[in-house]
Amino acid sequence: MSKKIPWPRVFIEGAVIVGSILLAFGLQAWWEGHNEADREQGTLLALLAEFEGNEEELRRAISIERQHFVDAGRLLELMDREPSEIDGSEFDQLVRRLLTSETFHFESGAHGGLLSSGDMDVIRDENLRNHLAAWPSHVEEWAEEAESVFSLVAEVIVPYLSERWRLRDVGAEWAPFPVGEPPQRMPVGSSDAPSRALLSAAVEFENLVFIRSQGAWYAIRDGEGLQAELSTILRLIRQNIDE
């Protein structure tokens, strides 16, 4: 006589086994998703700190170029006057500023590491991913403009002025400064009147000042465009962190 199969118990035990398997898969999926969310938040926080620092650096760069644009405009205005009407100390100070330029550096460790690792999918927001992918091309466009301005000053304006102006007498030196603080430019001497050598070659010098003002204008324009893109990226990062 065959033994009766306890189907209800078989079904219950089978359901328990299937349920256990599904629960295990569910827990694994939850854990993996939890880890991915933690990775994303860590990546976003690193990007936030990096882009906030770059925003400050860009703001400083634009501010410096705005000042150069104003200085160049003032020099051109002075050169439209008669030499006897020009304030020699102001002229010297403006020319001294014309000798200065600097390069700017953006941090890219977190962003560059994300791109090079091919792990961009850790960020779920497609819009943010697209902006992060396009960021290097935006920076490159602005960097080319900033580099051209730096080259103009270093390779054209400084040699031109050094041939016509005694830089040791009307130049500048580094003042002592506490560790961690930027150096301040301190004037060294000052001529009583505008440099006759520069005013005697007014057309050449005026053209250089005008080209410098153009360079500042383009650097400001491209910098403001980069600033708008950077603001968008920061907004998206903060939005995804808040979520």
Neighbours of 200 (CB within 10 A): 11
d(CA 238, CA 113): 20
> In the chain, what are the domain boundaries?
7-242
H or E segment and range at residue 172: strand 172-174
**What was the pLDDT predicted at 155?**
92
Residue 122 CB-half CA count within 13 A? 23
**What was the pLDDT predicted at 9?**
60
Percent of the chain with pLDDT over 90: 36
Average pLDDT over residues 218-233: 94
Identify whether the C-beta of residue 51 lies closer than 8 Å to the C-beta of residue 230: yes
- Each residue's pLDDT tens digit, 226-239: 999 999 999 999 99
- Pick the closest to residue 192 from 170, 173, 162, 172 (CA basis): 170
What pLDDT band is residue 82 in, cutting at 50, 70 and 90?
confident
- What does R_g of the chain's alpha carbons equal in angstroms? 31
Average pLDDT over residues 171-187: 48
Where b means 16+ CB within 10 Å and e means fewer, 206-217 reads bebbeebbebbe
